[in-house]
Structure 1
Amino acid sequence: MTTLDDTELHSDASYAASRARSDIIHELIDDPQARERQNLRVLTGDRPTGPLHIGHLFATLRSRVAIQDKGVDTFILVADYQVITDRDSVGDVRAATFGQLADYLAAGIDPARSTIFAHSAVPEIGQLMLSFLSLVTDAELRRNPTVKDELAATDGRPLSGLLLTYPVHQAADILGVHGTVVPVGRDQLPHVEQTRAIARRFNTRYADGEDYFRAPDALLTEMPVVPGLDGRKMSTSRGNGISLCMTADETAARIRKARTDSERRITFDPERRPEVASMLRIVGLFTGEAPEQVADRIGDGGAAALKAGLTTVVNDGLARHRERRAAFAADPAYLESVLREGNTRAREVATQTLDDVQRRLGLRY
């Protein structure tokens, strides 16, 4: 078996090739006739580990809406099984799932044009994973950056089998619904490359060279960096984020309690003043300004003026989303129907895929 090594996963040449394919995909998405000929299908999603925050809004939700609005067949996965890859307690996954769904709809995801489904509702994906596991090596999995990072952070804690096989689970997600385009940042490229390798290996080993699975392409996105209020990556669990489900008062309180420093004049200095720099970046995301421009505008107004300005732009910028989200959250029966219909469609596709795979494996009785 030919395996992916670190060079292939991380080299500049590999990135350049992915970048070139991604540029072509961007052109296809913008060309209705070409898009239809290529029969593109996007697969993307999130783990329901807690409330979505403004980082999700800027980095993924808006781009998904844009792709959907261009007429691309879009599948959005609520990756509930992946919640347990790296934690002992799953929390209230059901509440997180429906909260996530309310944010999807509030952001503009249209269930009539995008298929929203949950891992746990499509068991065929898990069955596909079994055959895909035969197409990868233990060494490949351990070289995956996500797995390597988790191993480095475990401090001696045993690595779960589910986390070790996480890249294969993702491949089953993508190939199970015949996703051909996966929007990712550069750090997630190795997952797409592993999926491409699995698709090729399946075709060679089990499909007599037929291109049953199309090797999916990464749609490299210039995701904006949305830092938390403390300068670190925004995360609900760290308490440094602004969740989309927060009220205006809760947002104001979160920003008011955020740490800054004692310097009166506001400057953009990420190394020396990470908290202030983060707030300036967030303001800029909502206003379209560079953080340096925001800093110059606030000047000697100090931390009070910075926090007041940040509170205003966030609450104004999220007002419409929050209004729509509240309306969806108040109708749980509708949310359940959206997920149920999405689950049904995704399962129909995955069931056909599993049937095709089992026939090629000689497992139809």
Structure 2
Amino acid sequence: MPAQPLTSEPRQTPADQAGNDLAEATTDASLERTRRRSEEIEAQIAADPTGFRVLTGDRPTGNLHLGHYFGSLLNRVRLQDAGVETMVLVADYQVITDRDGVGPIRERVLSLVADYLAVGIDPDRSTIFTHSAVPALNQLMLPFLSVVTDAELRRNPTVKSEMEATGDRPMSGLMLTYPVHQAADILFCKANLVPVGKDQLPHLEQARVVARRFDERYGRAGDAPVFPRPEALLSEAASVLGTDGQKMSKSRGNAIELGMDADTTARLLKRAVTDADRHITYDPVGRPEVSNLVQLTAMASGRDPHDVAREIGDGGGAALKRAATEAVNEMLAPVRARRAELVADEGHLLAVLRAGNERARAVADATLDEVRAAMQMVY
């Protein structure tokens, strides 16, 4: 046996390795591997979508907007229409991770369901459900928390960011364990595919760590692992900025919401930030605000942004805003019409949610039964 080299470095613990895994998830080399793997997955979906189950969703903290539409909603509809089994979570429990109350939660949950249906998510092909209606999903938090450390959780980018943002303010236990709750969201239904942006890769890696450790600790010899290792489907959707040139956000008041009427959309886009140069070009680095409106116009109309910029030419910011308003309102017109019908029929929205909750509970109960059997807790 070869002699082991002497070293003054301490032995790496499992927690250290997990921290390395989370950090490594966003390195350039890892991102490139994830992109290549995403391309392979897309090819596999095209050939046979039946081997995949997707988990995706949103926190009901406000109305969905164009950032959500281009960033995730269209992709969910695409995957659903391709034949991929899709689980769409309305993460109502996660509203209280960083807030003192739930706010008008019922109204926001139903608004979210209306948005989903209006953009084309089909409740007969996709399961729309809420955290609070699936007890077995949340019960998985207990065994999952037993395989992570508080040091690992504090290194999670979302938790770390919250700690830095709040300074000395105490953090809730739910905020600290937020990454494990996300792992439970993914693993309860044994999702093997999660559409994410690169900033969310550490959360997915945390779910992979939890799945691996659970199976290492409680796995049954000779049997298949209880949980799959979920993979990322990396989103390459362009980011849409708000009307003030900052990230489009429900809390900043700079968002074009899906449910807004055409006149409100026009007013918001009319006061969007541009610059003093009347000649319109597409230059995201040099002219981010102008380029954002050019890109928004292009995405809404299915065109190339350079073509949009050339067409507007010396028309200036006013012509650009008119083009963006026309393109966005035309694109969203059928979505808004359908959404208005849905909002007027609360009974239908509740029926969709209750049916999805029932399906999600059946999946979660079956997974919890497997977990209890693996842990030898069937009495």
Same fold (TM over 0.5): yes
Deviation at 1:267, TM superposition (A): 3.6
Which residue among 15, 20, 24 is the counterpart of 2:31? 15
The answer to which of 302-311 and 72-81 deviates more is 302-311
Deviation (angstroms), 1:362: 2.5
Identify which of 262, 267, 286 aligns with 1:248. Answer: 262
| Shift of residue 273, structure 1, vs aligned partner | 4.3
Distance of 1:224 and 1:263 partners within structure 2: 24
| Match among 104, 113, 119 for residue 107 of structure 1 | 119
User: Structure 1: which amino acid aligns with 2:149?
Assistant: T
Contact in 2 for aligned 1:230/1:274 (Cα 8 Å): no
Aligned to 2:44: 28
1:356 maps to which of 345, 350, 370: 370
2:68 aligned with 1:47, yes or no?
no
What is the Cα deviation at residue 128 of structure 1?
0.3
Task: Pick one of 229, 233, 242 that aligns with 1:228.
Answer: 242
Deviation at 1:271, TM superposition (A): 5.2
Q: Deviation of residue 53 (structure 1)?
A: 0.4
Between the aligned partners of 2:35 and 2:226, the Cα distance in structure 1 is: 24
1:280: how far off? 1.7
AA of the residue aligned to 1:54 = L
Report if the CA contact (8 A) 2:243-2:271 is conserved. Answer: no
Q: Which residue does 1:2 correspond to in 2?
A: 14
Residue by residue over 1:5-38, the C-alpha shift from the partner in whole angstroms, topping out at 9 and shown as x without a partner, is: 2443333343344334323321221112xx43xx
Report the aligned-residue RMSD. 1.8
SS of 2:77's equivalent in the other structure is helix
Q: Distance in 1 between matches of 2:195 and 2:118?
A: 20
Structure 1 residues 259, 27: closer, same or farther in 2, change over 3 A?
Answer: closer
Partner SS for 1:237: coil
Query: TM-score, normalised to structure 1's length?
Result: 0.93
Which residue in the other structure is 1:333 paired with?
A: 347
Asked if the contact 2:55–2:186 (Cα under 8 Å) also holds between the matched residues in 1, the reply is: yes
- The CA distance in 1 between the partners of 2:84 and 2:302, in whole Å, is 27
Tell which structure's C-alpha radius of gyration is larger: 2
Q: Hey, what's the Cα distance between the residues in 1 that align with 2:213 and 2:250?
A: 39
Measured in 1, the distance between the counterparts of 2:277 and 2:30 equals 45
Kindly indicate whether residue 220 of structure 2 is the aligned counterpart of residue 204 of structure 1.
no
In 2 relative to 1, CA 253–120 (structure 1 residues): closer, same or farther, beyond 3 Å? same
Q: Secondary structure at the match of 1:120?
A: helix
Counterpart amino acid of 2:375? L
% identical equivalent positions: 55
CA contact (8 A) 2:71 2:237 kept: yes
Preserved CA contact (<8 Å) 1:129 1:169? yes
Q: Residues of 1 paired with 2:160 and 2:40: CA distance?
A: 31
1:322 corresponds to 2:336: yes
1:106-154: CA deviation from partner (whole Å, max 9, x where unpaired): 1111111100000011111111011100111112111111112222222
One-letter amino acid of the counterpart of residue 40, structure 2: I
Match of 2:173 in 1: 161
Amino acid at match of 1:8: E
Q: Work out the number of aligned pairs and report it.
A: 361
Aligned to 2:316: 302
Contact 1:231 1:277 in 2 (8 A): no
Q: Look up the equivalent residue of 2:342 and give its one-letter code.
A: F
Identify the match of residue 343 of structure 1 among 350, 354, 357. 357
Q: Partner amino acid for 1:340?
A: R
Separation (CA, whole Å) in 2 of partners of 1:29 and 1:19: 15
Mapped to 1, the partners of 2:295 and 2:39 lie a distance apart of 27
**Which of residues 185, 194, 214 in structure 1 aligns to 2:228?**
214
Structure 2, unpaired ranges of 5+: 1-12
Matched-pair contact (CA < 8 Å) for 1:42–1:179: yes
Offset, 1:45: 0.5
Deviates more, 1:305-314 or 1:243-252: 305-314
